[in-house]
């Protein structure tokens, strides 16, 4: 899976899943635009790690919930790399745990603004460029919570479900333009966001019990899926959601007669 001469923009690439995606695409030969929202040092760490492996990368700052900031981001990527072939919308937050009715409306809207409107703004900018170039790939990172309700996180679930359908609709609109648009739905992936869960033996045991393969995944598991979908190996794949969850959605509790 060779991405030499390709340019990829990864939002939320300063840590977690986004970082692994940036590293994987760079290892495959792509020049990588490393987006970050607040942690410049983490973004520089990713850029330096890519460069130390012989790759090409540069950090870019933007607030993905602002259409003006997103437009500047894409213009800056144009000025640096001259083109865009791959967009991965990985930036996202889960928000504050609050049940509907007891929640803060502004907090709810913040999750929607980043997780749903952010990818929408980025997709609009990417499509303008990809349509001119008659090709490109957009990969949206959604979640198993497109399917599984998660009490206290209605904004997160709604944003990811909305992004999943946005992916399919945009894929339908652009399939005849040489542009493929897909989504990846990770399950339980070990990152800093859920560190308190997987570092606690008791909660980790409970989490692993929800996964058919019996263990939580790594960010590299998601990155490998992104690498496949971004490459020509997936040239006939568009409008789908690839689940990367170790079998969480096949309900392992039902293995023994329910």
64 close to 121: Cβ distance less than 8 angstroms: yes
pTM over 0.85: yes
The terminus-to-terminus CA distance of the chain in angstroms comes to 41
Indicate the SS3 state at residue 165.
helix
The contacts of residue 160 (CB under 8 Å, 6+ apart) are: 115, 142, 143, 145, 146, 185
180 close to 237: Cβ distance less than 8 angstroms: yes
Which tens digit of pLDDT belongs to each residue from 12-40? 999 999 999 999 999 999 999 999 999 99
Residue 254: predicted pLDDT: 86
Rg of the chain (C-alpha set): 18
Can you tell me the distance from the alpha carbon of 258 to that of 252, in angstroms, rounded to the nearest whole number?
A: 9
Which tens digit of pLDDT belongs to each residue from 195-235? 788 888 898 999 999 999 999 999 999 999 999 999 999 99
Cβ-in-10-Å burial (0-12, 13-18, 19+) of 22 comes to: buried
Helix, strand and coil in the chain, % to nearest 5: 50, 15, 30
Q: For the chain, list the domains and their CATH numbers.
A: 7-192+217-252 (3.40.50.720)
pLDDT above 70 covers a percentage of the chain that reads 100
Cβ-in-10-Å burial (0-12, 13-18, 19+) of 110 comes to: middle
The pLDDT confidence band at residue 253, using thresholds 50, 70 and 90, is confident
Cα separations in angstroms, 114 against 56, 57, 63, 67:
27, 24, 8, 11
Active site residues: 156
- For 147, the token pair is 């399917």
Which tens digit of pLDDT belongs to each residue from 111-140? 999 999 999 999 999 999 999 999 999 999
DSSP 24-47: HHHHTT-EEEEEESS-HHHHHHHH
């Amino acid at each position: 899976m060779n991405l030499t001469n390709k340019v990829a923009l990864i939002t939320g690439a300063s840590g977690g899943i986004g970082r692994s995606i940036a590293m994987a695409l760079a290892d495959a030969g792509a020049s990588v635009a490393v987006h970050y929202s607040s942690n410049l040092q983490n973004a520089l760490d990713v850029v330096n790690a890519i460069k130390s492996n012989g790759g090409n990368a540069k950090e870019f700052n933007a607030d993905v919930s602002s259409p003006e900031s997103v437009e500047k981001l894409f213009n800056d990527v144009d000025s640096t790399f001259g083109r865009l072939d791959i967009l991965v919308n990985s930036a996202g937050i889960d928000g504050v745990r609050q049940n509907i009715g007891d929640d803060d409306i502004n907090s709810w809207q913040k999750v929607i603004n980043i997780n749903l409107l952010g990818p929408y703004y980025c997709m609009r900018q990417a499509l303008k460029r990809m349509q001119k170039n008659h090709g490109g790939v957009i990969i949206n990172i959604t979640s198993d919570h497109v399917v599984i309700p998660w009490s206290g996180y209605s904004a997160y679930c709604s944003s990811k479900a909305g992004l999943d359908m946005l992916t399919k609709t945009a894929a339908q609109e652009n399939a005849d333009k040489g542009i493929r648009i897909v989504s990846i739905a990770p399950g339980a992936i070990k990152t800093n966001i859920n560190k308190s869960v997987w570092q606690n033996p008791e909660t980790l045991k409970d989490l692993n019990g929800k996964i058919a393969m019996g263990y939580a995944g790594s960010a590299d598991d998601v990155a490998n899926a992104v690498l496949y979908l971004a490459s020509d190996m997936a040239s006939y794949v568009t409008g789908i959601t690839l689940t990367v969850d170790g079998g969480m959605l096949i309900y392992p509790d039902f293995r023994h007669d329910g």
